Chains A and B, each alone.
Chain A
Amino acid sequence: MKTLVFVENHNGKATKAGLEAASYAIAMHAGNAAEITAVIFGEIQGDAGLGEVGVSNAINITGQHNSQSITDKIQSLVDQHNIQLLVCSHDNAGKEIAPRIAIRSGASLISGATQMASVGNGVVVKRNVFSGKAIAEVASKNNKVVLTVLPNSFGVKKTGGSCAMSADSAAGNDQVKLVEVKGNHDDAGIPLPEADIVVSGGRGMKGPEHWSPIEELAKELGAATACSRPVSDIGWRPHHEHVGQTGIAIRPNLYIAVGISGAIQHLAGVNGSKVIVVINKDAEAPFFKAADYGIVGDAFEVLPQIIAAAKTFNANK
């Protein structure tokens, strides 16, 4: 199945989500990278990190592009190389490009795959529905398929190798353009949607001035910080930290929730986490039912012990 992988570019390197989409496509072909071509737009450094995940062939399209001009170019690649399957990440860029390509090329679009797809008569894949409270197995009806992969669900598989990069160009489109990126969030921090470990605080933290134990534990674990909806609504923490049904959904390997009771709307944003730790002084907090590890106690007594243990752990690593 001739496959094209769209990989997003961030400062010259493939994004983690883009590499994950490439790893996914390679696994779909049982490691046969010859079936797969990656496409990355904009200026890149070296092979943008594609060789390391096993991509052997890639096309770099220079210049400034938006989702419309990217779609125009991808569609011409689809026609030129007789592409049957397009794989991209279910991230902001993927959610703009995948639907356009699906319509343009008459493909079935299956969005947000969380498990490996099976290829037979079309493509069949599992995805989360009802905000992670259930799983649906979805099948394509058309011969051509566009598949988006939910970030942090499959992982980046570093197999090593080298990638042959060919350069190409494409016409731009200026109906919509990115005019500015305001880097007002903490650039040194780990982006929340990509983080493997997340430490999150709720109303139980009692006020924004008490956030230092959350930040300190996050720093020791190399984690991103997050918060519950009430905390962002009352302005203790910025909106972009809000995880839950109406904020963002995350799927880290480890989610540590401190002083969050675990309302169903919050769980909807974190139930894809592999391991959940809940720290709450209320033993009846519903979050414990969804947790793997629980500690009933005062956050301000419990966190210092965990931070101290993390420091010892890091020192002995």
Chain B
Amino acid sequence: MKILVCISKVPDTTAKIAFSNPTTYDENGVTFIINPYDEWYALVRALELKETLGGTVVAASEGGADYEPIIRKALAIGADEGVRIDAPESDAFAVATELAQYAKDNAFDLILCGKETIQYNGGVVPGMMAEMLGLPYVFGASKLELKDNKVVLEREIATGIEVFESSLPMVVSAAKGMAEQRIPNMRGIMAARTKPLAVVPSCGAAAATAVQQFEMPPAKSGCKMIPADQAGSLIQLLHEEAKVI
């Protein structure tokens, strides 16, 4: 089984969000991590499948040399090979085009991604890849099993759980529940240093959208405190002042 896991580099979940100019995120003092959905759910599930069925897990990312530490982290967690597609960070369309081109050239049985990045929150790269590769796709699966050469997937929805069956190869984006986070151990970290990390040239994809500017959300006007012994007055405030009930 040959599995491709697409990973993305994002600011740590506690990082301060600021912009050095209207279109540039201020990376000063920011620690970058593998996007949690990619790492905790997609990568770990890929490793679990490899451990039971055998095969190879390739962790691939599109970005500059500054992406290599997160690809090494994926290798430390257990991926066999790392791939960096050498192109600058871009929009979903360009990223999907680059990753799909790599996937096309290397024939994978299963392509796993996180359901979205915590940086752009788009969640459309895997769907674009599926379309470019002509493959079936399920967004946001919380469970993935292989049964008789078929993929059985579950997705949590508001009223229950949807169960899907799909042929292979396919693209899946992973949500909470698919696997549990793994912390790399010392042996994994040592092994990661000698695992292959290939740099693949870009296919030259151009973005289909452009960020014109970033801005901060409007600040809250402050918190109105209600004494605990008058807690019941909250209902009246929510009705008359906030007008939400």
What residues of chain A have their CB less than 8 Å away from a CB belonging to chain B? Answer: 66-68, 71, 90, 92, 95-100, 102-104, 107-112, 124, 127-142, 148, 175-185, 187, 191-194, 196-197, 221, 239-240, 242, 245-247, 249, 253-254, 264-265, 268, 271, 274-275, 277-279, 288-298, 301-303, 305-306, 308-310, 312-313
Contacts and interface: CB of A to CB of B under 8 A. Distances in A.
Dominant SS among interface residues on chain A = mixed
A135 B209 CA distance: 15
A100 B131 contact: yes
B212 A175 contact: no
A296 B13 contact: no
Dominant SS among interface residues on chain B = mixed
Given A242-B176, A246-B36, A294 B123 contact: no
A66 B153 CA distance: 14
A129 B216 CA distance: 10
Interface stretch (B102-110, B193-201, B221-229): B221-229
Contacts of A102: 93, 124, 128, 208
Contact of A100 (B123, B127, B161): B127
B208 A140 contact: yes
Interface string B86-110: 0000001100100000000000000
A138 B92 CA distance: 12
B209 A176 contact: no
Nearest to A124: B212
Contacts of B220: 289-292
Interface string B116-144: 00111111111110111001111110100
Nearest to A131: B118
A112 B165 contact: no
A111 B233 contact: no
B244 A253 contact: yes
Nearest to B122: A111
B72 to A, nearest CB: 23
B208 A131 contact: no
A271 B37 CA distance: 19
B118 A99 contact: no
Contacts of A134: 17, 19, 214-217
A274 B242 CA distance: 9
Given A139-B209, A288-B223, A176 B158 contact: no
Contacts of A274: 244
A99 B128 contact: yes
B211 A138 contact: yes
Given A141-B207, A176-B138, A313-B235, A295 B228 contact: yes
Interface of B: 11, 13-14, 17, 19, 36-37, 40, 92-93, 96, 118-128, 130-132, 135-140, 142, 155-167, 170, 176-177, 207-217, 220-221, 223-228, 231-239, 242, 244-245
A98 B211 CA distance: 19
Given A141-B207, A197-B245, A92 B131 contact: no
Contact of A277 (B14, B17, B238): B238
Given A184-B160, A185-B159, A264-B13, A295 B121 contact: no
A221 B142 CA distance: 30
B232 A309 contact: yes
Contacts of A107: 208
A102 B210 CA distance: 15
A210 to B, nearest CB: 17
A274 B241 CA distance: 13
14 contacts: A96-B127, A111-B122, A134-B215, A136-B211, A175-B166, A176-B136, A176-B137, A181-B159, A197-B244, A264-B14, A265-B13, A277-B234, A309-B232, A313-B245
A107 B155 CA distance: 28
Contacts of B139: 92, 95-96
B167 A175 contact: yes
A181 B244 contact: no
A67 B128 CA distance: 12
A315 B114 CA distance: 47
Contacts of A191: 157-159
Contacts of A264: 13-14
B225 A296 contact: yes
B236 A309 contact: yes
B215 A295 contact: no
Contacts of B128: 99-100, 102-103, 109
Contacts of B131: 71, 99-100, 103-104
B224 A181 contact: no
Nearest to B234: A306
Nearest to B124: A99
B65 to A, nearest CB: 23
Contacts of A297: 228, 231
B155 A139 contact: no
A271 B201 CA distance: 39
